[in-house]
Amino acid sequence: MMSPSVTAVIVGQGYVGLPLAQAAVDAGLSVIGLDMNEEIVRRLNAGDSHIDDIAAEDVATMIAGGYRASSDPAVIAEADVVIICVPTPLGESGEPDLRAVRGASEAIGEHMRAGTLVVLESTTYPGTTDDVVLPILESRGMVASADFHLAFSPERIDPGNTVYGIRNTPKVVGGIDAASTEAARAFYSRFVDTVVTAKGTREAETAKLLENTYRHINIALVNEMARFCHELDIDIWDVIRAASTKPFGFQAFYPGPGVGGHCIPIDPNYLSYEVQRKLGHPFRFVELAEEINNSMPAYVVTRVQDALNDNERALRGSQVLLLGVTYKANISDQRESPATRIAALLRAKGAIVTYHDPYVRVWNHTMGEPLESAPEAISAAREADICVLLQAHDEYDIAALTEASTLFFDTRGVTRDDAALRL
């Protein structure tokens, strides 16, 4: 049974680790946020935040509740629980990059004390907990089950979601044995309303991949339908609205200029990688969804070029204003945003690309020099040859932007009149 007083070290203080730290502090736990980025550590200890969902005031409250950040792995020796929340990007050839997971595991193995619960939250392929993390932890002489517990619990953070957070989003846990599963369940139950136990680590790992593969494939479906519907002169947005009235058997997904964030463009590839590696054949649904979703930025550029041609203008030399360059509305997170590729493709065709985003003052993810956001959206729209709405932030007055624009291309289906072109 875990003692009433618990110290947790959360490795990685980004979009997953910092909200987790906040929830744990709110539940009365003593939390140390371990991060190798000295600037992040400095900012956190100064009461400043570097992510959307945690305000500076929240960090100050956390510090008052006993939170501190550190870049010294030796703090792991103070922990009853160590949670790994480090990035797991894809490598250049599409394979999972587990260097951060391995590095965190090595630090934990070196410093953890007997009785520690270790939980991996970083998304990865099935078998990582047992085949990668476990051997590293045991390499220093401790034995799993006898000396420490080990489990996997997939993160379910949805940046910008004001309805579902850590407490009211069910938490899946799966341990290397029944005792590890129970230890993880008991820990997360301190600040999560519902904890769901999986059969083991591989089931918990795969559950996360199934969730995001499901979304990836269904987004690809509506993206392909959007393209067909445009050619057939059918309003895809009205089609989805009508289909959504069915009270069973249908869940609405919406087309867009591409997929972004860390989860949807990345996570299904972990599963595809492991299927190919272990079984020797492709995961065809994932590969097809990847092909379709990755083609959407180029499709958007083609539609922009067609719209300009229809108005007797060439794309080369035209000023294209991109509205919203984050991967999701109402946040500043630009990870894997399709806006980056759209901008690069437009520039390659000779367009003059400008942008406006209330959440991104300087955009560093385009070809060439960083761009500064236009100071005001309406005036920027008046100056552009075409405006492309990539992200429908709440701050945008869509009707006013449409009226101010010479051409307005809506990739999010939020316009309500024929003055705009829609995906």
Residue with tokens 């006898």: 146
CA distance 143 to 154: 24
CB 236 within 8 A of CB 253: no
CA distance 37 to 39: 6
Active-site annotation holder among 85, 229, 263, 387 = 263
For the question of residue 85 being annotated catalytic, the response is: no
CB crowding 159-198: b at 16 or more within 10 Å, else e = beeeeebbeebebbbbbbeeebbbbbbebbebbbeebebb
CA distance 64 to 121: 26
Residue 374 makes CB contacts below 8 A (sequence gap 6+) with: 321, 354, 355, 356, 380
Which residues make beta-bridge pairs with 90?
96
Tell me which residue of 336, 416, 326, 342 sits closest to 386, measured CA to CA: 342
What DSSP assignment string belongs to 203-262? HHHHHHHHHHHHHHHHHHHHHHHHHHHHHTT--HHHHHHHHTT-SSS-------S---SS
Longest dimension (CA), the chain: 74
CB crowding 278-314: b at 16 or more within 10 Å, else e = eeeeebebbeebbebbebbbebbbebbbebbeeeebe
**Residue 144 has which token pair?**
């799993």
What are the CA-CA distances from residue 115 to residues 79, 119, 145, 180 (Å)?
A: 10, 13, 9, 11
CA distance 415 to 290: 28
Instruction: Tell me which residues are annotated as active site.
Output: 263
